[in-house]
Amino acid sequence: MTDKNSLNDLDAIDISLLKLLQENSNRTTKDLAARVNLSHTPVFERVRRLEKSGYIKKYVAVLDAEKLGKDLIVFCNITLKQHTKEIGNKFVQDIKSISEVTECYNISGDYDFLLKVLVKDMKHYQDFVLNGLGSVENIGSAHSTFVLGEIKHSYSIPF
């Protein structure tokens, strides 16, 4: 495989394995082998190759945020006061250290960054804004959008 992997580097069995692992990463090699009609060893080797080449980044358990008391999802658009390499890098470092921020994207348009924030309630979000974001330098503005209901949430990458 080349340094920059692509879908063209995968055959139909590799794609089937990736789809099956996206559905349930806890599947055994035996189960995967049965589903793609191969023996255990080639499936094991294929999965290891997919891991090593970076198609599979890691395996995780998907937790229920509501059951864990994180009932409020907020999307927060951030604009920086200034735009330099140092300021941008410092912002990224600071955001990575704030546990309530579960996702952060550098975006184009009216804002510089989009944060996905999980908190217990509005009081917790207020504390996050004042003490979490408030400790991050060079934020010019923050605009919050509160999720009323989740319609679709998928971790799967479409093929």
Model confidence at 1: pLDDT above 50: no
- pTM for the whole structure: 0.86
Give the pLDDT score at 147: 98
CATH 1.10.10.10 fits 9-52, yes or no: yes
pLDDT per position as a tens digit, 39-94: 999 999 999 999 999 999 999 999 999 999 999 999 999 999 999 999 999 999 99
Q: Domain spans of the chain?
A: 9-52, 72-146
Model confidence at 3: pLDDT above 70: no
Give the pLDDT score at 7: 77
pLDDT per position as a tens digit, 4-47: 677 788 999 999 999 999 999 999 999 999 999 999 999 999 99
Fold of 72-146: Alpha-Beta Plaits (3.30.70)
Give the pLDDT score at 4: 66
pLDDT per position as a tens digit, 111-142: 999 999 999 999 999 999 999 999 999 999 99
Closest CA to 129 of 82, 65, 76: 76
72-146 and 9-52 share a CATH fold: no
Greater model confidence, 69 or 159? 69
